[in-house]
Amino acid sequence: MELGVQGFNSAPVDATAALARHAEDAGYGSWWAHDHVVMPTGADASMDPRTPIVDPLVHLAHVGAVTERITLGTAIVILPQRNPLVLAKQAASLDALSGGRFVLGVGAGWLAPWTSPEAAFHGRYVEFSDVAAYPQPSGIRVVVGGRSPATYRRAVSRAHGFYGNGMPADIAGDLTGLARAAQEVERPARLGELEITAMPLTAADAAQPSRYSDLGVARLVLRPQQFDDAAWLHRWLDEHAP
């Protein structure tokens, strides 16, 4: 099972390049960036609104320039906040600049593939036709994250993979939902087998990989519990390296 890391676009920006190279050299297979354009400041906010979050696509472009092999992914882009044409252009550009290493993770909705010289899309909220954009992507893989029947249907019918957060019991529930969705919607053969990625919300420990692997998880993504200390993050990468 592959091990990846997530959330380092909240780490000190001047340490990003060194941390990314460290992760690649330590054997991590993927590097995922999270997305919040703004943060709520009310008393019920789930995160400290002062948490720095570098835009995931800008962050991954920087990481792609200082690494050679590690997969670069968004986990996840909040799709309804993004203009689909602009996001498609950014994703294709990042994929081209990184040598085809980019995985587009989205949290809701669906972005039509941008892999032909001319593109068109006619949806409820977005419509365009007879447009073209270069560079063309090499074949961006799409993963869907979330926890709802609609999310499971999108993952099965339109994505290469599913990205779930939580304990093994949570992921087991996701797998049940995905299996149910597979009875309701058709999965195109071109997408292949649905790849399952899981990110525990608790501190990483040595027993986690086997617990998730037993469920059929293909990729386990670890997230540090703090990001403000670069030296601590370097030690964390060594402690949990595959």
User: What contacts 123, CB < 8 A, 6 or more positions away?
Assistant: none
pTM as predicted: 0.89
- Terminal Cα distance for the chain, rounded: 9
User: Residues 27-39: what's their mean pLDDT?
Assistant: 90
| pLDDT above 70 (res 117) | no
pLDDT at 25: 98
Q: What is the pLDDT of residues 148-175, one digit of tens each?
A: 999 999 999 999 999 999 999 999 999 9
pLDDT at 109: 38
pLDDT at 115: 56
pLDDT at 120: 77
CA angle 206, 235, 56 (to 5 degrees): 90
Percent of the chain with pLDDT over 90: 71
Q: Report the candidate in 87, 106, 113, 116 with the shortest Cα–Cα distance to residue 154.
A: 106
In the chain, the number of structural domains is: 1
Q: Report the candidate in 56, 129, 52 with the shortest Cα–Cα distance to residue 91.
A: 56
Domain that holds residue 21: 2-239
Dihedral, 46, 74, 163, 139 alpha carbons, nearest 10: 160
pLDDT at 112: 45
Task: Tell me the CATH number at 126.
Answer: 3.20.20.30
DSSP string computed for 104-148 = EEESSS------SSSEEEE-SS-EEEEE--SSPPS--EEEEE-SS
